Amino acid sequence: MADWRIERLDHSHERSEFACGKAPLDDFIRKLVSQYEKRNLGRTYVAVRGEEKRIFGYYTLTSGAVPFESLPEGASKKLPRHPVPVVLLARLAVDTLARGQRLGEMLLIDALRRSLTLAERVGIHAVEVDAVDAEAKAFYEKFGFVGLPDQELHLYLPIATIRAAFGD
């Protein structure tokens, strides 16, 4: 297994060679992420190996809210009838060179841990994700994400479920 480190993106990271095979995800890390960081629209964390600065995987977190009407019927019980605060896992991608090494799983677990820490500081009900395609949706579902009824690729995972999974 590679010696992966996950760290906050900065200018020293090499982004130009990242290729996961999905153009929107490749373009974001190569061309757009600096503007998102500078404008406080999201925070991106990257996976690097050893002392290298080449990015092999990344994810971006930002804040969001899920409309009350978009929650599954059972999940909306005992919640006020207004948008529910969430951490949006806006992107998660693994370079083709790192496939099969469980880096996606490692990145997701790191994102969920950071979300749990945030939930201790501010009110967050869940982690939300808009999967890029059916393959990504299946990946998230393996980790307990549940589909939301408003869109086929829209999923969420309650903070209470994350807390229980980590034994916190």
Average pLDDT, the chain: 93
Query: Over 70: is that where the pLDDT of 41 sits?
Result: yes
Q: Residues 71-129: pLDDT tens digits?
A: 877 777 777 788 889 999 999 999 999 999 999 999 999 999 999 999 999 999 999 99
Q: What is the pLDDT of residue 71?
A: 82
Instruction: Say which of 45, 58, 59, 140 is annotated catalytic.
Output: 140
Q: What is the pLDDT of residue 63?
A: 95
* Total length of the chain: 168
The band of 160, judged by pLDDT with boundaries at 50, 70 and 90, is very high
User: What is the reported pTM?
Assistant: 0.93
139's enclosing H/E stretch is: helix 134-142
- Other beta carbons less than 10 A from residue 14's beta carbon: 12
Structural domains in the chain, sorted by start: 4-166 (3.40.630.30)
**Residue type for 34, please?**
S
Distances (CA, A) of 101 to 3, 107, 145: 11, 11, 22
* Rounded distance between C-alpha atoms, residue 68 and residue 25, angstroms: 29
**Catalytic residue at 58?**
no
Q: What are phi and psi of 71, to 5 degrees?
A: -80, 145
* Rounded distance between C-alpha atoms, residue 18 and residue 106, angstroms: 18
153's enclosing H/E stretch is: none
The single-letter DSSP state of residue 8 is: E
The band of 168, judged by pLDDT with boundaries at 50, 70 and 90, is low
